[in-house]
Structures are given as structure tokens and as C-alpha cells.
Amino acid sequence: MLKLYNTLTKQKEDFKPIDEKNNVVGIYSCGLTVYNYAHIGNMRTYIFMDTLRKVLKYNGYKLKHVMNITDVGHLTSDADEGEDKMAKSAREQHKTVYEIAKMYTEAYQKDFKKLNIEDTEYLVKATDHIKDMEEYVKEIMANGYAYETSKGVYFDTSKMENYGRMLSNNNMEELLSGARVEVDSEKRNPQDFALWIKAPKEHIMKWDSFLGLCYPGWHIECSAMSRKYLGDVFDIHTGGVDHIPIHHENEIAQAIGATGHIPAKIWMHVEFLQINGGKMSKSLKNVYTISDIEKEGIEPLAYRYFTFSAHYRTKLNFTWDAIKSAQVALNRLREATKQHKNGAEKGDQNKIKEYKERFLNAINDDINMPLAIAVLWDVARENVKSKDYYNLLMELDKVTSLDLDKENVEEEIEYPEEVKAILEERKNARDNKNFAKSDELRDKLKDLGYTVIDSKEGQKLKKI
Ligand code: AMP
Ligand code: ZN
């Protein structure tokens, strides 16, 4: 039986879909705000989301999974303050908000592909659902949970018992003293949040509505879109832990206001990725992306493997040494897989059954990937080399998606003269510590279809 930890009830629960008859699971995942390149912290959360999908499928469920693209409304502070992240990025880069959205959407989708994060059944853009959001806001108002001020429409948190304490045990005094909430004398309660905002003249993104030219608050998009595609109550809602205290509390409040229901039965949250034991931040210049990892000659899938080294509900610490070790381990796992593929012996059927059970128990215990990976290793390390073990590894890799069948770095092949010349030039550049040149030559090799990996033995090439 699949057990999942629910932030709402603070316990692991047996999973049973609402639509048991058709075995379909409805999931909503908060997607990226496309104002910047997604970083590897974001990717930890989406690799988890993808793994959850694959665990559900492995258990025989069908999926109806919605992910959004936030291309409007997410302000620089989660609590209704600051500038719209999209507008700020557009202003800084002298582009339109739509160009910004397109550029960063394409960029994250490329990263998703490289990480074997498969497409969700629905991928929905906030700007395509403004009308749905407007209707949702009107419903909340009609039910008496929201009021109008000169700035827009606000959710009246005093109308909801337990506001802000559904998922997070938020202490209101603490929240308010944290100076996160702007003082606004028109608000009935300081923690009331914006649902629909009247656009000031200079505001770029705005839509004609029942209140004139307006734009939506950030939280309302997820409520409106999840309801549109999944109904008033669906099975699972996912996001990172930073969404618990504000975004998801507000999503719940909005849904109570509109439909009277908590919108999802299970709320799952991924702990943060840290860098060298601390926060990722622009000032520390450690906001790494998947491209940064590739520039070091490390495969994106080594990052996927690395994220499986900790349970999703614990912090994970990224260091360059750790990611390099992950690449080495993944290469070894693939090498062992290949040996089984070429093996002529018979595998032990009892052991295979046992391995399958252990794997299923691991993934079904709240997606315990460190334990699941340990099973892969035990199969890989079998002394008897057998195609049966290879087939087993391939089956288990449907969940882990590490391309265990992929060839490792090609070693003894003859490269074209042009490539050999670049490799020589790059070796000289690196010997002279001219890393700018070395990076430039890496890009040249990329154009020719090769990724270069720098190892102790020197440069190695891999076909892209
Ligand atoms: P955003 O675009 O800011 O809404 O973030 C997209 C997703 O990434 C959200 O689910 C966040 O909770 C998650 N996220 C942001 N930073 C991290 C991090 N350092 N580690 C893990 N997940 C993160
Ligand atoms: Zn959301």
C-alpha cells in the first residue's frame, strides 16, 4: 500500500484516490515563476514531482496532473508586496513580459527534458486563465469572504476559522511582527491578502474586469486553475516547503471561501536544497542552474541521482564534490547494468521477486528514494551476470529515470581531426589555467555534438 506524508494531517497516510473506480489520481503542482532561469533548488522540487508521478504509475494509477506556469501576479514578496516579478525582469532586460515568459519557459523545459522530467497531462499558463480567476474572486465575494477597498479585493481572513494554521501552525503574532505584511488602513485585518488588484497606470499587465483594469494576486491563479481542471477537491497538491506558510495557506483559504472545501486531500512539500550547508543566494553567487552543472562536465541526470541521496522531506546539501561523486556512482551503476545486459547466466527468480518487493516497499513508504537506490545497487552488484537482472534494473528505472541503459563516456574511439585539434588546444588552455578559453572551446565541442568531461585522466568526450 502506498503511504504518503500529508502536511495537512502531519502524518503518513494510506493513499486511496478519490476516483477509485477509474483509478485516476488528480494532482496539482505549483509551477515556476518564469522571470529568471530555474535553479537546481527548483529542480529538486520538480524531480520529486516527477518521481511521485512515476511511483503512482508504477502502482498502476492513471494520472491527471496539472502544473501551472506563473507568468503574472507573483510579487517580489510572497505577501502582496513589491513589484510583479515578471514586470521587474522585463524592465531590467528591456523586453516585454511575454518575451521574458517565453524565454524562461523554454529554458526550464529544456532542463526538464535533460532531467527526464516528463510532461504533466496539463500545463497551464496563468495569463490564459484571467477570466477563471475573476469568476473565482467574484464567488469568494458573493460568499462574504472578501471585500473591496480602493486598491482591489481582499480576502477577509477573520471569516475563516484557523486561517494560516491549516498546514503550518503559523502564529499570527509572529507572522505580523515579521513586518512581512504592509500596514494598510483599509484592510479589515492586517493579514488579509489581495485577490484582485486595481492596476496603477504604469502597471504593464492588466485586464479589463468587473473592477476596471486589474491584475490577479498570485495565490488566486492556483485556486482557479486547479479547480478548472481537477474540480473542487482533488487528490494531491505539491510544492516546496516555502509555499506552506503563505501560498498554500492562502490557496486553502480561497477554496474555503469559494467552495467550502480544502481543495486537496494530500499536501506534499519538498524540503530545500542548500549549497555548502547554507542558503542559495545571488549575493553568494551560488544560484546554480543545470547549465552550470553541465559546464563542469557533469550530466543533468547525475543531479537527478544526487537528489535521491536524501529523502524529499529532509534538507539536501549540494557541494561540487558531492555532485561529482554522484556522476561517478551513476557511471558505475550503468557499467554494472551493461555487464548484466551482456551476461549469459540465469538470474535467481526468488531474489528478483525479493528485490522487486524491497523496491516497491521503499517507494511506497513516502517515496523513500535513498532506499530505492540501495536496491538498484544490490541488483547491480549481483555476482552472477544475467539478462534477468538487466531486465529488472530496466523495470525499476521506470521510476528512477536515470537512463541506466545509457552508454558511459566513450573512451576508445577515433575522433575527427577537428575535434582532436580542439581537445589539444583546450588541454593547453587548461594547463595554463586559461579557463575562459577552456570554456569557449567546450562550447565549440558542444556545437560539434560532444560534451567534454574533465576527469583525473584528462578530457573525455561524450556524444550529445
Ligand atoms: P518559484 O518559481 O519561486 O515559485 O519556485 C518553484 C518551485 O521551486 C516551488 O515549488 C518552490 O517551493 C521550489 N523551490 C524554490 N527554492 C527551492 C530550493 N532551494 N530547494 C527546493 N525547492 C525550491
Ligand atoms: Zn501554487
22 and 141: one domain?
yes
Helix (H) or strand (E) segment spanning residue 60: none
- For residue 183, pLDDT over 80 is answered with no
Residue 127 CA to ligand 1 centre (angstroms): 20
Task: List ligand 1's pocket residues with C-beta within 6 A.
Answer: 30, 32-33, 41-42, 44-45, 239-240, 242-243, 270, 272-273, 280
- The ligand whose atoms approach the alpha carbon of 28 most closely is 2
Q: Name 81's bridge partners.
A: 77
Confidence of residue 410 (pLDDT cuts 50, 70, 90): low
Please give the pLDDT value at position 222: 97
Residue 7 located in a structural domain: no
Residue 114 located in a structural domain: yes
Residue 154 located in a structural domain: yes
255 and 279: one domain?
no
* pLDDT (average), residues 113-139: 98
Return the DSSP state at 413.
-
- DSSP string covering 374-403, please? HHHHHHHT-SS-BHHHHHHHHHHHHHH---
Lowest mean pLDDT among 148-152, 368-372, 381-385, 456-460: 456-460
Q: At 38, which CATH number?
A: 3.40.50.620
Ligand 1, atom 17, residue with closest C-alpha: 41
Q: Which of 366, 384, 410 is the last residue of a domain?
A: 410
Please give the pLDDT value at position 10: 95
Alpha-helix residue ranges (DSSP H) falling in 178-319: 218-230, 249-259, 290-295, 300-307
Q: Name 208's bridge partners.
A: 213
The C-alpha angle 254, 256, 258, rounded to 5 degrees, equals 70
Residue 125 CA to ligand 2 centre (angstroms): 12
- For residue 259, pLDDT over 90 is answered with yes
CA distance 375 to 358: 7
- For residue 187, pLDDT over 90 is answered with yes
> Is the Cβ–Cβ distance between 232 and 259 less than 8 Å?
yes
231 and 303: one domain?
no
**Separate counts of helices (H) and strands (E) for the chain:** 15, 18
Residue 318 located in a structural domain: yes
> Is the Cβ–Cβ distance between 196 and 211 less than 8 Å?
yes
Residue 4 located in a structural domain: no
Residue labelled with grid coordinates 528478483: 352
Q: Which of 255, 270, 285 is the last residue of a domain?
A: 270
- For residue 281, pLDDT over 60 is answered with yes
Q: CB under 8 Å to 12, separation ≥6 — which residues?
A: 3, 4, 5, 6, 365, 366
Please give the pLDDT value at position 81: 67
* pLDDT (average), residues 373-387: 97
392 and 432: one domain?
no
The predicted-structure confidence for 441-455, as pLDDT tens digits, reads as follows 999 999 998 888 887
- For residue 184, pLDDT over 90 is answered with no
* pLDDT (average), residues 356-362: 98
> What are 279's three cell numbers?
542558503
Residue 229 CA to ligand 1 centre (angstroms): 23
Please give the pLDDT value at position 125: 97
456 and 349: one domain?
no
Residue 237 CA to ligand 2 centre (angstroms): 9
Confidence of residue 461 (pLDDT cuts 50, 70, 90): confident
Domain encompassing residue 240: 16-270
> What are 262's three cell numbers?
480544502
Residue 112 CA to ligand 1 centre (angstroms): 14
The predicted-structure confidence for 418-437, as pLDDT tens digits, reads as follows 898 999 999 999 989 999 99
* pLDDT (average), residues 279-305: 95
Query: What atom of ligand 1 comes closest to residue 42's alpha carbon?
Result: 8
Q: How far is CA 165 from CA 81, 218, 289, 379, in A?
A: 21, 20, 34, 45
Question: How many domains does the chain contain in total?
Answer: 3
> Is the Cβ–Cβ distance between 118 and 53 less than 8 Å?
yes
* pLDDT (average), residues 10-38: 97
307 and 433: one domain?
no
214 and 149: one domain?
yes
* Structure-model confidence comparison of residues 164 and 404, the more confident one: 404
Q: Which amino acid is at 15?
A: F
Q: Nearest Cα to 298, choosing from 326, 336, 276, 333? A: 326
405 and 456: one domain?
no
Please give the pLDDT value at position 78: 67
The C-alpha angle 111, 338, 57, rounded to 5 degrees, equals 50
The predicted-structure confidence for 194-253, as pLDDT tens digits, reads as follows 999 999 888 888 999 999 999 999 899 999 999 999 999 999 999 999 999 999 999 999
Residue 2 located in a structural domain: no
Pocket of ligand 1, candidates 30, 36, 42: which has the most ligand atoms within 8 Å of its Cβ, to mutate?
42
Pocket of ligand 1, candidates 30, 45, 120, 289: which has the most ligand atoms within 8 Å of its Cβ, to mutate?
45
125 and 150: one domain?
yes
Q: Which amino acid is at 30?
A: C
Confidence of residue 411 (pLDDT cuts 50, 70, 90): very low
404 and 427: one domain?
no
Strands (E) located in 290-387: 316-318
- For residue 80, pLDDT over 60 is answered with yes
| Predicted TM-score of the model (pTM) | 0.87
63 and 208: one domain?
yes
Please give the pLDDT value at position 366: 98
Residue 66 located in a structural domain: yes
* pLDDT (average), residues 401-429: 84
Ligand 1, atom 5, residue with closest C-alpha: 32
Average pLDDT, the chain: 93
Residue 163 located in a structural domain: yes
Please give the pLDDT value at position 415: 81
CA distance 38 to 134: 29
304 and 352: one domain?
yes
Q: Which residues of 270-291 are buried (b: 16+ CB within 10 A; e: fewer)?
A: bbebbbeeeebeeeeebbbbbe
Confidence of residue 396 (pLDDT cuts 50, 70, 90): very high
Please give the pLDDT value at position 87: 85
